[in-house]
Chains A and B, each alone.
Chain A
Amino acid sequence: EAGVTQFPSHSVIEKGQTVTLRCDPISGHDNLYWYRRVMGKEIKFLLHFVKESKQDESGMPNNRFLAERTGGTYSTLKVQPAELEDSGVYFCASSQATVRTSGRNNEQFFGPGTRLTVL
């Protein structure tokens, strides 16, 4: 079974430019999450999709960030316009469920991340 994949692995852009990150979750996982880790800090939650719907976007830093999950499969995270403080590693994760029940659990599996550098 393929794991969570993310593209690109690295992106270097200038302040003011636009970048779009992509995440493909594990097949069959309805739940998709975006997280970010900035240098020296902990991994922090950005938002959560259930299929194509945004369940929780409380972690999105501001309206320069736009996440979509059309069709409930892969997701994109667009940053427009990028600022210096947006630099970090953006992780995507997926899970079968949000609570542990018989036959399904809420473990999240992470992708390799996209390292974004804004100059």
Chain B
Amino acid sequence: QKEVEQNSGPLSVPEGAIASLNCTYSDRGSQSFFWYRQYSGKSPELIMSIYSNGDKEDGRFTAQLNKASQYVSLLIRDSQPSDSATYLCAVTGPNTGNQFYFGTGTSLTVIP
């Protein structure tokens, strides 16, 4: 079983719609959760971090965490073509070394 699972997509949404990206993780001891955006050939760019159950909003982005269900999601409101990228979910392990476990990423395409 993989540590972090994401649907690989591709996920296509029309411009202006809400894009919903999902991630599940296997280790109940995980404490920190991150979403990265990666454009083709570029570095992963941190867009959201979340540590507590519930929602965290930052502009058009909302991260949702449910530790009981071992589930973290990212909602992108008013999707723009510039949001087209691969979105990576990252989760810390149970130890204190801050090693990140990544999913394989979900490819998002926003259609103008």
Contacts and interface: CB of A to CB of B under 8 A. Distances in A.
Given A42-B4, A42-B104, A43-B88, A107 B49 contact: yes
A99 B102 CA distance: 18
B105 A42 contact: yes
A106 B98 contact: yes
Interface stretch (B36-44, B61-69, B72-80): B36-44
Interface string A85-108: 000000101010111100001111
Interface residues of A, number: 31
A83 to B, nearest CB: 23
Q: Which of A56, A97, A105 has the most CB of B within 10 A?
A: A56
**Interface residues on chain B, size class:** 20 to 34
A8 B56 CA distance: 37
Q: Which of A43, A44, A97, A105 has the most CB of B within 10 A?
A: A43
Interface of B: 2, 4, 31-32, 34, 36, 42-46, 49, 51, 88, 90, 92, 95-105
B92 A106 contact: yes
Interface stretch (A14-22, A64-72, A110-118): A110-118
Contacts of A110: 36, 43-46
B4 to A, nearest CB: 7
10 contacts: A33-B98, A33-B100, A35-B102, A44-B102, A56-B95, A91-B44, A99-B31, A107-B34, A108-B100, A112-B42
